[in-house]
Chains A and B, each alone.
Chain A
Amino acid sequence: MNKKLANFNWRKILIPIFSIISAFIIGAIIIAASGKNPLDAFSALFSGIFGNTYYIGEWLFRSVPIILTGLAVAFAFRTGLFNIGAPGQLAMGGLTAVVIGIFVQLPWFFHMPLMIIGGGLAGFLWGLIPGILKARYRVHEVVVSIMLNYTALYFVNYAILKFIPNPTNPAQSAAMQPSATLNVPGITELVAAIFPNSRLNFGFLIAIAACIIFAFIINKTSFGYELRAVGLNPSAAEYAGMKVNRNIALSMAIAGAFAGIAGAIYMTSLGKIDVEQGLTGYYLLGFDGIAVALLGNSTGVGVFLSALLLGGLKAGAASMQAFAQVPAEIVEIMSSLILLFVASGYFFERILDKRAIKKLHKIRQQKVEVSE
């Protein structure tokens, strides 16, 4: 255990932390430059995240889909693939869950898992398309995924209006069956007691479970080992006898399943699908996943914590605007800065490297002096 701790690469944690601190400093400068008090702004921001139990509940609720889309992006990253198709996978998963929620009548303990699995399966299939195209024909997964995002978006809009229309409000899908919720007896009451009025639900536990499953597949299974090997060096992996193409296709599909589950939870929580969520709904959630995966270094724990951070910033932004009159867009700037800094983490790493080398030099010099 000690050896493990000693070998732990602290930079992996230090880079995100540095990035977050720097983003807050720059955010503060921008707020100050616009004539507002950064301390007021940040205190409003944080009170909007954990000012009371309602805000805490909403913060966690908000983070759930980002955790899952983060996993969707991270899983593909691990195999060296860039899954930019999370919005489409999420949309298809959400639609599938809502359709199951509307047309199927079951007791809740069958209904809920069916919706989640159905959503995951839809995401799996939607992710499998770019996966197979990449594996078999070397078509770049980014191009295919982006096009599939639009396909999914338009298909979902069409499907809502055509197959599951709401008789009283044509801008929404029909309402789901009463059993089609994420309410679990006991847990729902407990959550309602701790976080009154917030929309936090069983989905949060599913997201945590997904993080654990993610970490387990990647770190503890030979399949995960193969995926990582393919990600690090496909040629070497092939030489070692691994089925590179199969792993590429499966990796995209499993990534899609995570996003599909995100969609299932998101839509089930809201109870309906609105028409035209495209650019404001699915895309935001899917692309936040990219940020979360990068910030979390594509690990289960990292994604979880980063999603809580990003979800928190976004949840608190409204309070910041309402109570400190600081535009909520500052939060977008800050989260983009965090991402920018993480992505350019090499810059920080180099500084750390130089420091380490200097230290080594000093130690050596001291040793030389002592021996002399």
Chain B
Amino acid sequence: MKKLLALTSLALVFTLGLTACGSTSDNGGEGSDLPVASVGLVTDTGGINDKSFNQGSWEGVEEFVAANEGVESGYLETQQDSDILPNLDTSAARYQVVVAPGFKFSEGIAVSAKQNPETSYVILDATPTEGDAEVTLENVASILFREEQAGYLAGIVAAKTTKSDTIGFIGGIPVPAVMNFAAGYVQGAKSVNPDIKVDVQYANSFTDTTIGKQKASAMYASGMDIIFVAAGGVGTGVIEQAKELTTQGTEAWVIGVDRDQYADGEYGDGKSVILTSAVKHVGAAVNQTLNAIKDGNAPFGQVQTLGISEDAVGLPAENPNITDQETLDLIASETEKMKAGEVTVKTNADFPVQDAKIY
């Protein structure tokens, strides 16, 4: 008993002592004159280290903070979808600009932006919606990406590389961003070889690695040698299957998504099953938008669609697995053509790519 009392009082003294020594937190941002004094990010349930959208956006915030002295920043991780709204509101109470990456925020941001008219919001990959209708809000900037352009280049690489002339696509839940990738992929592959077959499948999930592995296994077994996967965590299963097959001696390539996934596909000796990746430069877009807010010409109340002309989408600069010079040249020339507007890639709206179909 005495021992316990002694321990408890020790703990108390320790706590109080440290409390007294602890620094008082600074709320300098609120009184500051900076045009953008503080930036907060709310993640979806994927968390800040998701190696994808949340992480990429946060890197953009950090980039901005590093270049602008005195700007405060912080993030909130969402644990369950019903917390999205209070997290947005709490961030709005603390930060001047709130960044929300992903389509899951489209409803929450509309509510929060109305409740906090003083706060500026940046939403990526989605527009604010009420019910199921889009709304325009004067303190929300929406950024969409031309995924179809990155998908188009991925399709070209796949069509140039494949030996079987049948390639696969595995999408997550068929949200517009994912379907745009698919649309571009099919168009890109057909531009190289009109007779190529593209098998399109949706996993209806962004998290289920098992279903990714199953679908990939079936696709590779049926003779496809390249799969483009735009499906979040499902991609992990696809990459796993490709690694297994490759180490067994069967050629199996994966085209990654959102960021350069080369390192995710490594299976030894620095070799990787990632042929290339259809990249969205989310961080750069966030940084650009924050700079625009700082300079006073923020795209509030607007929907910006960033593409290859803004260097917001494309393939990684380095593609160690693309060894064919002709392919590299073709990518470079097609990129230039897209930038010049000579080649236009249709979005999912004009070129719907549906589940369980071969194009």
Contacts and interface: CB of A to CB of B under 8 A. Distances in A.
Contact of A175 (B4, B131, B207): B131
Interface in B206-245: 206-207
Contacts of B115: 197
Interface stretch (A105-113, A209-217, A276-284, A295-303): A276-284
A183 B74 CA distance: 35
Nearest to A162: B204
B204 A322 contact: no
Contacts of B103: 169, 171
Majority secondary structure, A binding face: helix
A266 B11 CA distance: 40
Given A169-B103, A171-B173, A157 B204 contact: yes
Given A277-B81, A325-B74, A37 B1 contact: no
A118 B47 CA distance: 34
Nearest to A28: B15
Interface string A249-291: 0000000000000000010011000111111110011000000
B104 interface: yes
Contacts of B95: 322
Contact of B76 (A26, A315, A328): A328
B25 A324 contact: yes
Interface string B68-103: 000000101101111101110111011100000001
A39 B22 contact: yes
A281 B93 contact: no
Nearest to B78: A280
Contact of B15 (A29, A197, A266, A270): A29
B24 interface: yes
Contacts of B19: 28, 32, 37-39
A90 to B, nearest CB: 12
Contact of B104 (A28, A171, A321): A171
A223 interface: no
B18 interface: yes
A58 interface: yes
A40 B24 contact: yes
A48 B90 contact: yes
Residues of A in contact with B, size category: 35 or more
Nearest to B132: A168
B332 interface: no
B182 to A, nearest CB: 13
A274 B204 contact: no
A269 B205 CA distance: 24
A37 B23 contact: yes
B40 interface: yes
Contacts of A138: none
Contacts of B87: 318
B80 A25 contact: no
A318 B22 contact: no
Contacts of B343: none
Interface in A36-57: 36-40, 48, 54
Nearest to A280: B45
A355 interface: yes
Nearest to A57: B86
Interface in B97-124: 103-104, 106, 115
A319 interface: yes
B23 A322 contact: no
Given A161-B204, A318-B86, A274 B94 contact: no
A276 B173 contact: yes
A346 interface: no
> Max chain A CB contacts within 10 Å: which of B4, B12, B24, B79?
B79
A37 B25 contact: yes
A321 B132 contact: no
Contact of B132 (A40, A166, A199, A278): A166
B174 interface: yes
B15 A32 contact: yes
Contact of B86 (A26, A166, A315): A315
B175 interface: yes
Interface in B7-42: 8, 11-12, 14-15, 18-19, 22-25, 27, 40
Contacts of B74: 321-322, 325
A39 B18 CA distance: 10
Contacts of B129: 168-169
A199 B81 CA distance: 14
Max count, chain B CB within 10 A of own CB: residue among A167, A171, A279 = A171
Contacts of B207: 276, 278-279
Contacts of B18: 29, 32-33, 38
A280 B79 contact: yes
A83 to B, nearest CB: 20
Interface string A313-331: 0110011011111001000
B76 A318 contact: yes
A321 B86 contact: no
A38 B22 contact: yes
A367 interface: no
A284 B78 CA distance: 12
B22 A36 contact: yes
Contacts of A35: 22
Quick one: which of A48, A175, A276, A277 has the most chain B CB within 10 A? Answer: A276
B11 A280 contact: no
B175 A169 contact: yes
Nearest to A32: B18
B132 to A, nearest CB: 5
A266 B22 contact: no
Contact of B1 (A175, A199, A269, A351): A351
A354 interface: yes
Given A48-B90, A157-B204, A280-B79, A274 B104 contact: yes
What 9 A-B pairs are tightest by C-beta distance, nearest first? A37-B22, A32-B18, A322-B94, A280-B45, A318-B90, A168-B132, A28-B15, A171-B173, A281-B80
28 contacts: A25-B8, A28-B15, A29-B15, A36-B25, A37-B22, A39-B19, A40-B25, A54-B89, A157-B205, A166-B132, A168-B132, A169-B103, A197-B89, A269-B82, A270-B81, A275-B204, A276-B206, A277-B81, A281-B82, A284-B79, A318-B83, A318-B86, A322-B40, A322-B74, A323-B94, A325-B25, A328-B77, A328-B79
Given A25-B15, A270-B82, 4 more contacts: A32-B19, A161-B204, A323-B27, A325-B74
